[in-house]
Structure 1
Amino acid sequence: MHLGIVTPVLIQHPSTRSEWEATADIEEVAQIAETADRLGFHHLTCSEHVAVPAEIAEERGGTYWDPLATLGYLAARTRNIRLATQVLVLGYHHPLEIAKRYGTLDRVSNGRLVLGLGVGTLKEEFDLINAPFADRGARADDALAALRVSLSNPRPEYHGEFYDYSDFVVEPHAVQTRVPLWIGGRTKRSLRRAVAHGDGWVPFGLRLSELKDMLAAAPLPERFDVILSTGAPLDPLGDAEQTVRALTRVRDAGATIASSSITATSAAHFSDQLEELHRIALAEGIEFTAS
């Protein structure tokens, strides 16, 4: 099992945001990213929302840094850690928009892009940008098939139900021969979508017992990743035993990659926590490599 981090500051959920994150700047985020990179963590994350309705933001947060701009900056401050969108909403973009913009990110980061992708659930946001909502699942499946043949191809061609194109040049494009696609979701359909089109599944909002049952019932391809959250923010310096339990639980549930939130009082404290998490994880046999 590899270990990555949920980047602080970039998403601020009212129930989990630490006080220091409210005023943190990109330099503090970069310092944390540099620490995670130096220690060999697998990935860092950034998610996407265009605009969250005010009443919904009160419950699930309204701060979502733009992943393309943010990960582009962090790419320049790091060398090995993977840069994961967790997640982009497929319905907000044409596949070739993603191929160009994030293919460029893959180029400037020397092949460190991981595209975490989701169908999306916030109807108000779909309506705001005039994106179709009712058939978003079918559109997402078509977009995933289009992305698979387009991301690393300077002359992509695809003919599907919703997307149809040929004779276009997309330069620059991704330098990875196969950009990892992680599919987010919490349903059996999302897992089927991930197996059919992706390289990994990023479930959320499910009990570990539910995850075990779903994974046991779904034959997974070789080299397919299951990316599981370690749950409540870890406090390696303050509670090493709880940290070990959290890592062990997700590994036993079938995670090939774990993604950890960290409790901290400042960016410096967050980096200290990463140092201790690295020590604990090594003792537990957790791998540290972005490859």
Structure 2
Amino acid sequence: MNDITTPPRSFSRVFSENRLTVGLITPIESYPDSPFPTLDDHQQVAELAEEAGFASIWVRDVPFYDPNFGDAAQMLDPFVYLGFLSAVTKDITLGTTGIVLPLREPISVTKQALSMDRLSDGRFILGLSTGDRPVEYPAFNVDFEDRGARYREQVELICALSENRFPRIKTQRFGTFAGNLDMHPKPLNGRLPLMAVGRSRQSIEWLAQTIDAWIWAVDDDEAIREIISSLKAAAGDRTPPGYGYSTFFDLDPNPDAPYQRFYNVVRIGRNALIDRLLRHRDLGVQHIALNLKPSHRPAQSVIEEMGTYVLPALTDA
């Protein structure tokens, strides 16, 4: 894979060395007592997030509602929804966290990603995962145990189709390309920024050598140190992927409330949040994606407080 020597603005707005940015995961609303969001005012909330200074909006790929999982995400197809969001926003980076690649046909994913790149004027990051819901794999007639190898081959194919002219490729699980077909449009910035979401059944070495950014759910200080150190060591001469994490988030109305964790939900007041984010920035974390599903406050209230107090503190410090 080619390294991003001059990152497009869509990427550097979110992932840059010695800087930490914050994004939001769709649906951008609080719905703690239901697996289904309302999607009420979602256009206005996306516009509010951009105005508040959030770096990104991330769309999830959840084809089915699994009652055992308890969250239907934004319900809308991710690429269709991203097309809508690109029309109602101007500057904020848009991306996926992440497309469940083994369940999708890679030629179609490439075409959809390139279309989104063009429609958003280059504001797109393609985040790819192997998913977290094993029950979906039989529905797509895809071997769950083959997901790691399938993912690697699909990533290689996406890069070849999007970056090369009339590629010659023979794949094991997909098709053969004899140099007589070319995928268009090509990326506006030369190539699509790629992000792994979760481990995706891959080694640190593969991640460090292949992708441009990595979002995981690991936010423990010591674990962050080990992850970033491992990525740098494995990257060699290549720029190591930018590391970030995602978390379910509940901003306490008391600005002095301490950090608390309830299983996979972080509840915290803004002052402790600022301290925590600055500490993680100094550890090398470049981006944090917040999921407001468990919030006890309306998303608009959280966005306004973050935009007034938290996000400026990250740029001023």
TM category, shorter: 0.7 to 0.9
Letter in structure 2 aligned against 1:248: L
Residue identity in the other structure for 1:182: M
Q: Would you say the 8 A contact 1:186–1:204 is kept in 2? A: no
| 1:62 maps to which of 67, 72, 83 | 72
Taking the aligned partners of 1:163 and 1:247, their CA distance within structure 2 comes to 42
| Counterparts of 1:36 and 1:280, CA distance in 2 | 13
Please, what is the CA RMSD of the aligned residues? 3.0
2: CA distance, partners of 1:9 / 1:79: 19
Task: Sort the Cα spacing of 1:245 and 1:17 in 2 relative to 1 into closer, same or farther, 3 A.
Answer: farther
Which residue in the other structure is 1:127 paired with? 138
CA drift at 1:64: 4.0
In the TM superposition, residue 115 of structure 1 has moved relative to its aligned partner by 0.8
Listed as ranges, the matches of 1:107-256 within 5 Å are 107-153=118-164, 155-166=166-177, 167-186=180-199, 189-205=202-218, 207-218=220-231, 219=233, 220=235, 221-222=238-239, 224-229=241-246, 232-235=249-252, 238=255, 239-256=269-286
Give the Cα separation in 1 of the matches to 2:167 and 2:310.
Answer: 45
TM-score by length of 1: 0.82
- Residue 273 of structure 1 deviates from its aligned partner by 2.5
Residue 201 of structure 1 deviates from its aligned partner by 1.1
**Conserved? CA contact 2:148–2:200, under 8 Å:** no
Report the equivalent of 1:105.
116
Aligned equivalents of 2:300, 2:106: Cα separation in 1:
39
Q: Within 1, Cα distance between the matches of 2:54 and 2:73? A: 25
1:20 Cα deviation from its structure 2 partner: 9.8
What amino acid is aligned across from residue 228 of structure 1 in structure 2? Y
Distance 1:188 1:70, change over 3 A: closer
- Cα offset for 1:198? 0.7
Residue matched to 2:22: 4
Amino acid at match of 1:139: R
Deviations 1:228-269 (A, max 9, x none): 236643348743212212312321332122223454633432
Distance (Å, rounded) in 2 between the aligned partners of 1:36 and 1:82: 11
CA offset digits 1:212-239 (Å, max 9, x no partner): 2132233243263112236643348743
Contact 2:251/2:302 (CA < 8 Å) preserved in 1? no
> 2:275 aligns to what SS in structure 1?
helix
Kindly indicate whether residue 57 of structure 2 is the aligned counterpart of residue 25 of structure 1.
no
Q: Secondary structure, in 3 states, of the residue corresponding to 1:57?
A: coil
1-side partners of 2:152 and 2:139: how far apart? 22
Q: Any idea what SS the aligned residue of 2:239 has?
A: coil
Unaligned 5+ residue runs, structure 1? none
Instruction: Supply the distance in 2 between the matched residues of 1:39 and 1:137 (Cα, whole angstroms).
Output: 38
Q: Are 1:76 and 2:94 counterparts?
A: no
Distance in 2, Cα, partners of 1:231 & 1:253:
21
Amino acid at match of 1:5: G
Q: Secondary structure at the match of 2:245?
A: strand
Q: Which has the higher helix share?
A: 1
2:13 is aligned to none
Shift of 1:173: 4.3
State whether residues 202 and 227 of structure 1, in contact with CA within 8 Å, keep that contact through their aligned partners in structure 2: yes
The number of equivalent residue pairs is 277
The residue number in structure 2 matching 1:93 is 104
* Aligned-pair CA distance for 1:22: 5.3
CA–CA distance in 1 between the matches of 2:201 and 2:222?
Answer: 14
Matches of 1:231 and 1:25 in 2, distance apart? 18
Give the alignment of 1:249-268 within 5 angstroms.
249-262=279-292, 263=295, 265-268=297-300
Selected match of 1:51 from 59, 64, 70: 64
Looking at structure 2, the residues matched to 204 and 126 of structure 1 have their Cα atoms a distance apart, in angstroms, of 22
Distance 2:107 2:219 in 1: 32
**Aligned mates of 1:84, 1:31 — CA distance in 2:** 18
- Give deviations 1:92-131, integer Å, cap 9, x for gaps: 1122111111211111111111111112343220110112
Quote the Cα distance in structure 2 between the aligned partners of 1:178 and 1:236.
42
Taking structure 2 as the reference length, the TM-score comes to 0.76
8 Å Cα contact 2:20/2:314 also seen in 1: no
In 2, the alpha carbon distance for the partners of 1:99 and 1:20 equals 33
Question: Structure 1 residues 153 and 268, CA, compared in 2 at 3 Å: closer, same or farther?
Answer: same
